[in-house]
Amino acid sequence: MARADRPAILLFVMATGIVSLATQLHEVPLGPAALFALNLVAYPALVAIKLAGLLRAPSVLLPCGVAQSEARASANQLRSM
């Protein structure tokens, strides 16, 4: 399974959308429809991979614990001064 924290999947979905719009503006006959159909498959796959990663390891995708521990460390440093 692909790692959910890698941006390549999101970049693929975004790029196909951008290229689809460009092909529509340049009036390429089947380009926009084909790329849109590809995005209809890729976007739900992206969502499924992100949700699976969230369920498998929430601490990796939700860095709240890291931010809280860093805030506590900074507060402790300020108190010790």
Stated pTM of the model: 0.56
Block mean pLDDT (10 aa), the chain, length 81: 63 87 89 89 87 75 58 65 65
- Displacement of CA 57 from its chain's centroid (Å): 15
pLDDT at 1: 46
72: tokens are 């506590």
- Domain coordinates in residue numbering, the chain: 8-80
Q: What pLDDT does residue 51 have?
A: 84
pLDDT for position 53: 78
CA angle, 18 then 9 then 29, to 5°: 35
H or E, element range at 46: helix 31-56
Amino acid at 63: P
Q: Measure CA of the first residue to CA of the last residue in the chain; give whole Å.
A: 48
